[in-house]
């Protein structure tokens, strides 16, 4: 487990759900935390370098703007794993990609403007990789919201 500085913990707790939508978001975070804009920005850079923050950006409900999504499972030989994952990740609609145990060892989520676009993308991936693929569209949506309580780590 990575030890976090107090400023890093404070920044993480705020940006999970309340990243300021202002022209100077780090300045606003600094104001809330009683810190400097430079110190907050350095904390975010440190968290990214440590791999704790993967990305900063908005999340939206793709269904509300007419998009479709699905879960896709692939059976990939271990010797071709990196090659296939690189191909899958090259598609802009791929939002998450996981290696799993078992025959179907690569799972990813795919978002596109229509069911047809999803099927076309899956067909392209099948053609490029030769992988056995299963399309697993959701029949019921269960959304889980997670905020991590990071406690008060000392510096």
Domain residue spans of the chain: 6-49, 62-136
* pLDDT over 60 (residue 153): no
Residue-wise pLDDT for 20-68, tens only, equals 999 999 999 999 999 999 999 999 999 999 988 887 877 777 778 888 9
Residue-wise pLDDT for 106-127, tens only, equals 999 999 999 999 999 999 999 9
**pTM for this entry:** 0.65
Least confident of 1-5, 14-18, 61-65, 143-147: 143-147
Q: Looking at domain 62-136, does it have CATH number 3.30.1360.10?
A: no
| Alpha-carbon span 146 to 143, nearest angstrom | 10
């Amino acid at each position: 487990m990575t030890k976090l500085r107090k400023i890093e913990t404070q920044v993480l707790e705020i940006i999970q759900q309340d990243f300021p939508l202002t022209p100077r978001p780090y300045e606003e975070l600094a104001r809330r935390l009683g810190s400097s804009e430079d110190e907050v920005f350095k904390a975010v850079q440190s968290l990214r370098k440590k791999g704790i923050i993967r990305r900063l950006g908005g999340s939206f409900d793709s269904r509300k703007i007419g998009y479709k999504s699905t879960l896709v499972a692939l059976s990939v030989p271990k010797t071709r794993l990196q090659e296939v994952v690189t191909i899958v990740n090259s598609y802009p609609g791929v939002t998450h990609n996981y290696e799993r145990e078992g025959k179907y060892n690569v799972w990813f989520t795919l978002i596109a403007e229509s069911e047809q676009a999803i099927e076309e993308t899956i067909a392209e991936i099948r053609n490029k990789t030769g992988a056995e693929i299963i399309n697993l569209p959701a029949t019921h949506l269960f959304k889980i919201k997670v905020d991590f309580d990071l406690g008060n780590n000392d510096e």
